[in-house]
Amino acid sequence: MNTLSIEELVEHAKKGDNTAFNKLVKLWYTRIYNYSFKFLGEHDTAMEVTQKTFISLHQHLEKLKEARFFKAWVYQIATNYCKEEVRKQKRKWVLPFVSFKKQVDDEIFTDVKTSEKGPEHLIEEAEINKLIIKALKKLPEEQRTVVIMKEYECLKFKEIAEILQLSENTVKSRMYYGLKHLKEIFDKWNIKKENFYYEL
């Protein structure tokens, strides 16, 4: 089973192979959690969205006509659940104070690298990640979605366009204005771009 591709795993899972489906979950769970966490900024809510995403996948996987569209499909489901949570909350977003100190977050939140770095540097990185997520939350939802997908999930513009069912030009426009907006936020906070992992 370990030698099967994602598409082969999907085909097996569609036929009721639970081992194949569990392998898909193992391969994608962390990635969908990371995406949800950056979108929502809360560990518990991101975990809930991630769980809902894979429950939905399990229930409706047979509806996926072509296995090659699995990647776009799983992001579509996660994005819809993230947006649903935003609508449900309808309250001022507050950054969780201790989320980066939880062991599970140390394992899942992959932006914080724990190897070969001293505790002071790790604390600094954790604080930077908090600021990035706080800034992302200030973006309009349509810009935030594209920026997270492109900058953190490393998806191509074509893939993002497929997931969001938009034209590539629209995706690129949202990316441009999203990064521009982020730069304005960081400038306002007097934070230099050298502190971050990507160009603004």
The domain limits of the chain are: 1-95, 111-200
CA end-to-end span of the chain: 41
Q: Which pLDDT does position 165 carry in this prediction?
A: 93
**How much is the pTM?**
0.75
CATH of domain 111-200: 1.10.10.10
**Dihedral sign (CA 170, 72, 67, 16):** negative
Distance CA 125, CA 141 (A): 25
Question: Out of 1.10.1740.10, 3.30.565.10, 1.10.3720.10, 2.40.128.20, which CATH number does the structure's domain 1-95 have?
Answer: 1.10.1740.10
Mean pLDDT for the stretch of residues 118-130: 66
- How far is CA 83 from each of CA 16, 88, 148, 154, 166, rounded to the nearest angstrom? 30, 9, 14, 20, 17
Read off the pLDDT band of 74 (50, 70, 90): very high
Q: Is residue 97 pLDDT above 90, yes or no?
A: no
Mean pLDDT for the stretch of residues 84-113: 48
Q: Indicate the average pLDDT of the chain.
A: 82
Q: Which pLDDT does position 25 carry in this prediction?
A: 95
Q: Is residue 118 pLDDT above 80, yes or no?
A: no
Q: Which pLDDT does position 114 carry in this prediction?
A: 43
